[in-house]
Amino acid sequence: MGTRLYQKAAATLLSVLVLAGCGSVKETASTSAGVNASESSQPVTVVVALPTEPLSMNPQNDATTQTTNMHLHMFETLTRLSEKMEVIPGLAESWAVISPTEYEFKLRKGVKFHNGSLLTAQDVKFTLDRIRSKETKPESVWQSRMRWITGVSVVDEYTVRVKMDEPNAPGLSILAYSAPILPKEYFEKVGDEGFNNAPVGTGPYKFVKWERNSAVTMEAYPDYWGEKPRIGTLVWRTIPDAFTRISELKAGGVDIIGNVPPSQIAALADAKNAQIAPVKSLRILFMGFNAKAPPFNDVRVRQAVNHAVDVDAIIKTVMGGRAYRNNGPVPGAAVMAPQHTPAYAYDPEKAKNLLAEAGYANGFKMVIDSPQGRYAQDKETAEAVAAYLRKVGIDAEVRTAEWAVYWDKYLKGQVQYMYVVGCGEASGDGHSCVDLHLSTASRGILYGHGSTDLDKLITAGKVTLDTSERKKIYASIADKVNKEAPWLFLYDFEDVYAYNTRVTWTPRSDERIDLTRAAVSTK
């Protein structure tokens, strides 16, 4: 009697759980059979796992990297960035520098939006005016990034001129990701909410559906003006947890994942259907000093810290070898990255000597403010740095805070000693991290990092249009910043992607998963 009851209870439990699923047996996903890479006619689906949910299908309302990544399959920009971060034609087939502060773009003819209407210069003007306007409701999240444009005029149906406040060499790179062109007539008809529910662009993929907090589906657009994509359907799934993303990849539920933590790479080693794809990121991590107050207002103390920390060892142990040492402020994968910036040698004795010269022979007490989990191994890196500082007599401890609290404190200039920050060079150019963190017109002023001389160099880098001249300028900036040491120089991240071996695809440094030219193999 007792045994039968137990059996019934177990059967009941199993039945409830199985019936709760309600549906046919098994299998996954969205991945149908693969096709020969050269064939584009058969239906193929590729599923990408993203860690965060898109906030909007209107690219002007969501600037998160992951969503921009997805948007750039449905929408297109005037220019594009190649895999090497060089500016190449997009919707503009060519452009001319009318004057140092005015570009003229010639648009491709015959480009159709997904609703069948043709792209014209009016759509470009509408998009760029809307993204810059303070009257737009809601105001575009890109507004502050497009402030350098002062006017947009239509010359003819396929020609548009863009005026800027001053020469802006990175401008073409910024246009490549921040201003996808929207259809003026359709947008004005449906409004912001309507567009969010049914977005229309010119990209190789058109919107199919958005299951909130779950997945965005798009399919190949048959009337695309350019090279037709070889993958029929893309599904962008929101999977916040790294373990779950990896499990999905192993189980065949998704084809591509990003943000694989160093600690999880080994878990993929036994996956027969997956391989990892590391790439040097355009994101740099550094630890800034508060150079406005003692002790870090003394350059010798800042240099001492740079000598006290073995950055190579931190890369090897904390980052599992998945980072690239960077001794300057320009991410190594950026176009303007200098060839070589000298590294501070790991030399604890020299560090102690410098501290003694500066009057800190007995060291001092300090706190490193750090976020936790905002950047890969951020807190762990800070703790490793603190340990090295303690070896040279600096009594350092790490204090973490929830991101919003930490960021608020940082932006208000309230960090007392050192902070941990990453910077992503989204345009691939090399100017923005330098400008943002070291210019006195921007955050350079927060912790005493900027100077008139440095400002002049940064401005020169921006307004000089000749590429080789710009490279020399950024090399000078890197050398100067390296010597003045406003930061403890750390590293560029290595982004690790993992993907199903049936997909032929190359990762990019700018954190974009670009599948417009990817393919699926049947092998």
* Contact call for residue 465 and other proteins (CB under 8 A): no
Closest distance of CB 368 from other proteins, Å: 21
The sign one gets for the Cα dihedral 284, 285, 289, 292 is positive
* Contact call for residue 237 and other proteins (CB under 8 A): yes
Q: Which region, judged by CB under 8 A, interacts with other proteins, from 3-11, 289-297, 459-467, 501-509?
A: 3-11
- Using the rule CB under 8 A, which residue among 125, 130, 132, 145 binds other proteins? 145
The sign one gets for the Cα dihedral 356, 358, 363, 368 is negative
* Contact call for residue 250 and other proteins (CB under 8 A): yes
> Which residues, other chains included, contact 199 with Cβ-Cβ below 8 Å and sequence gap of 6+?
57, 58, 74, 75, 207
Strand residue runs (E) in 21-84: 45-50, 79-81
User: Comparing C-alpha atoms, which of 308, 249, 293, 272 is closest to residue 496?
Assistant: 249
* Contact call for residue 134 and other proteins (CB under 8 A): yes
Closest distance of CB 381 from other proteins, Å: 20
Burial (CB < 10 A; 0-12, 13-18, 19+), residue 30, is: middle
Classify 150 as helix, strand or coil: strand
- Using the rule CB under 8 A, which residue among 118, 265, 268, 436 binds other proteins? 436
Question: In degrees rounded to 5, what are phi and psi of residue 279?
Answer: -150, 145
- Using the rule CB under 8 A, which residue among 157, 241, 395, 397 binds other proteins? 241
**Cis upstream peptide for 261 (omega within 30°):** no
* Contact call for residue 2 and other proteins (CB under 8 A): yes
Site pattern 343..372 for other proteins (x: CB under 8 A) = ------------------------------
- Using the rule CB under 8 A, which residue among 32, 40, 117, 244 binds other proteins? 244
- Using the rule CB under 8 A, which residue among 442, 451, 459, 476 binds other proteins? 442
* Contact call for residue 72 and other proteins (CB under 8 A): no
What is residue 124's DSSP assignment? H
Strand residue runs (E) in 240-355: 256-257, 274-289, 323-325
Secondary structure (H, E, C), 70-113: HHHHHCCCCEEECCCCCEEECCEEEEEEEECCEEEEEECCCCEC
* Contact call for residue 373 and other proteins (CB under 8 A): no
Closest distance of CB 432 from other proteins, Å: 7
Question: Residue 199 CA to chain centroid, in angstroms?
Answer: 23
Contact 218, 233 (CB under 8 A): yes
User: Comparing C-alpha atoms, which of 235, 203, 204 is closest to residue 218?
Assistant: 235
Cα–Cα distance, 298 to 3 (Å, whole number):
79
Burial (CB < 10 A; 0-12, 13-18, 19+), residue 390, is: middle
Q: Which region, judged by CB under 8 A, interacts with other proteins, from 31-39, 141-149, 272-280, 390-398?
A: 141-149
Q: Which is nearer to other proteins, 271 or 460 (CB)?
A: 271
* Contact call for residue 63 and other proteins (CB under 8 A): yes
Closest distance of CB 412 from other proteins, Å: 9
- Using the rule CB under 8 A, which residue among 42, 122, 159, 196 binds other proteins? 196
* Contact call for residue 61 and other proteins (CB under 8 A): yes
Closest distance of CB 418 from other proteins, Å: 19
Q: Which is nearer to other proteins, 233 or 306 (CB)?
A: 233
Q: Which region, judged by CB under 8 A, interacts with other proteins, from 249-257, 279-287, 288-296, 388-396?
A: 249-257
**Cis upstream peptide for 295 (omega within 30°):** yes
Q: Which region, judged by CB under 8 A, interacts with other proteins, from 96-104, 340-348, 429-437, 469-477?
A: 429-437
- Measured CA to CA in angstroms, residue 232 lies from 31, 57, 208 at distances of 11, 20, 12
Structure tokens at 469: 């001249």
Q: Which region, judged by CB under 8 A, interacts with other proteins, from 329-337, 379-387, 392-400, 407-415?
A: 407-415
- Using the rule CB under 8 A, which residue among 121, 239, 287, 418 binds other proteins? 239
* Residue burial 476-501, b: 16+ Cβ < 10 Å; e: rest: ebbbbbbebbbbbbbbbbbbbbbbbe
Question: Residue 17 CA to chain centroid, in angstroms?
Answer: 41
Identity at 473, one-letter amino acid code? I
Q: Which is nearer to other proteins, 99 or 214 (CB)?
A: 214
* Contact call for residue 404 and other proteins (CB under 8 A): yes
* Contact call for residue 211 and other proteins (CB under 8 A): yes
Restricting to residues 278-337, name those near other proteins by CB under 8 A: none
Site pattern 11..50 for other proteins (x: CB under 8 A) = -xx--xxx-xxxxxxx-xx---------------------
Classify 490 as helix, strand or coil: strand
Q: Which is nearer to other proteins, 119 or 415 (CB)?
A: 415
Q: Which is nearer to other proteins, 33 or 411 (CB)?
A: 411
Report the interface residues with other proteins, using CB under 8 A. Answer: 2, 5-6, 9, 12-13, 16-18, 20-26, 28-29, 53, 55-56, 58, 61, 63, 134, 138-139, 141-145, 192-193, 196, 211-215, 237-241, 243-244, 247-248, 250-251, 253, 402-405, 407-408, 411, 423, 432, 435-436, 442
